[in-house]
């Protein structure tokens, strides 16, 4: 008789038990937006303080986990679309912790040898990322701020892995809404677009200003206090302008659950969650 084994409940890996890898200047008692996002996605690269913040976010806005999941689902679809178009190198800025269906896994599954550079300003997210991608010489992790494009585009790691004479997939998911208007995000995005060669793609997801309730604002306000900054909610027209002269691929800039969904996992049962953010992919002529 075959013995049936009951699946064990998922356990959180408390990475604080071995702190040898954590940068000395990081206060592990303070929640990190990147690690909270990892927790909401179901990842294990987070601390107790991050899980507490994530639980509070879920209490205040019960669709927090669903929103994180839908954004990750859009990432997977965007990367698969780009690889189908022949893109073999990716720059993921504001990557957080590259866990739970990350870019290099999705890209390399479809196109072995695809190269990926993850960029995040959170030193703990970077330290985690380096552990996750260790041994994969086609993937690298860079600590940098997206608001300093020259430090990213001119970095040795980016130029070691990415060939700026060939198409690149640039991912800015749930990132541009952290850039306030006074920091001139249009100029910032223009700098990145100009650096990309013809045939490159730009994917953006951005919190939507037309369907923001008080609960969502309260959650993002809490996240801002943990170092993320205040969220700039923008309308469709403002977000579309970030693509500049890039040609939006079908279906254009839409709510993120509506961008080429492939199955039930790409859409929430709650219509309000599906409308939380805009998403789109543009191609450089």
pLDDT at 5 over 70: no
Is the model's pLDDT at 201 over the cut of 70? yes
Dist CA 38 CA 120 (whole Å): 13
- Per the document, the length of the chain is 285
The tally of CA atoms less than 13 A away on the side-chain side of residue 180 is 6
Of residues 60 and 56, the one with the higher pLDDT is 56
CA dist 99 and 273 (Å) reads: 22
Q: 48-52, 55-59, 277-281: which has the highest mean pLDDT?
A: 277-281
Task: Please count the other Cβ atoms lying within 10 Å of the Cβ belonging to residue 41.
Answer: 20
Which spans in the chain are helix H? 33-41, 48-60, 64-84, 103-110, 123-133, 149-153, 156-161, 185-195, 214-223, 236-240, 271-274
Contact by Cβ (8 Å): 12, 202: no
Of residues 262, 207, 192, the one with CA closest to residue 68 = 207
Least confident of 16-20, 35-39, 155-159: 16-20
pLDDT tens readout for residues 113-134:
999 999 999 887 898 888 889 8
Chain segment 131-187, per-residue pLDDT in tens: 889 899 999 999 999 999 999 999 999 999 999 999 999 999 999 998 999 999 999
**Residue range 204-228, pLDDT digits in tens:** 999 887 765 555 556 555 555 544 5
Q: State phi, psi for 131 to the nearest 5 degrees.
A: -70, -40
The DSSP code for 137 is T
Helix axes 48-60, 33-41, angle to 10 degrees: 70
Residue 249's pLDDT is 98
What the chain holds in terms of domains, given with CATH numbers, is 64-283 (3.40.50.150)
Given a cut of 50, whether residue 2 has pLDDT beyond it is no
Check residue 101 and give its pLDDT.
79
Whether the per-residue pLDDT at 6 is higher than 50: the answer is no
More confident residue, 261 or 46: 261
């Amino acid at each position: 008789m075959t013995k049936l084994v009951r699946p064990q409940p998922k356990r959180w890996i408390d990475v604080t038990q071995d702190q040898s890898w954590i940068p000395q200047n990081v206060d592990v008692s303070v929640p990190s937006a990147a690690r909270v996002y990892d927790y909401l996605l179901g990842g294990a690269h987070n601390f107790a303080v991050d899980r507490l913040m994530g639980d509070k976010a879920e209490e205040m806005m019960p669709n927090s986990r669903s929103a994180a999941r839908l954004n990750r689902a859009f990432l997977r679809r965007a990367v698969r679309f780009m690889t189908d178009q022949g893109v073999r190198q990716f720059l993921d800025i504001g990557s957080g912790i590259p866990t739970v269906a990350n870019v290099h896994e999705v890209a390399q599954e479809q196109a072995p040898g695809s190269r990926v550079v993850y960029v995040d300003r959170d030193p703990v997210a970077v330290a985690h990322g380096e552990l996750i991608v260790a041994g994969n010489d086609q993937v690298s992790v860079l600590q940098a701020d997206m608001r300093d494009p020259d430090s990213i585009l001119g970095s040795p790691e980016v130029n070691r892995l990415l060939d700026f004479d060939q198409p690149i997939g640039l991912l800015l998911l749930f990132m541009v809404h952290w850039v306030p208007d006074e920091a001139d995000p249009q100029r910032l995005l223009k700098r990145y677009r100009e650096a990309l060669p013809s045939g490159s793609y730009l994917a953006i997801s951005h919190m939507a200003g037309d369907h923001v309730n008080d609960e969502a604002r309260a959650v993002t306000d809490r996240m801002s206090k943990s170092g993320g900054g205040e969220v700039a909610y923008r309308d469709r027209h403002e977000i579309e302008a970030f693509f500049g002269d890039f040609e939006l691929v079908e279906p254009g800039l839409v709510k993120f659950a509506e961008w080429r969904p492939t199955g039930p996992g790409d859409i929430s049962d709650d219509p309000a969650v599906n409308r939380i953010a805009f998403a789109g992919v543009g191609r450089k002529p």
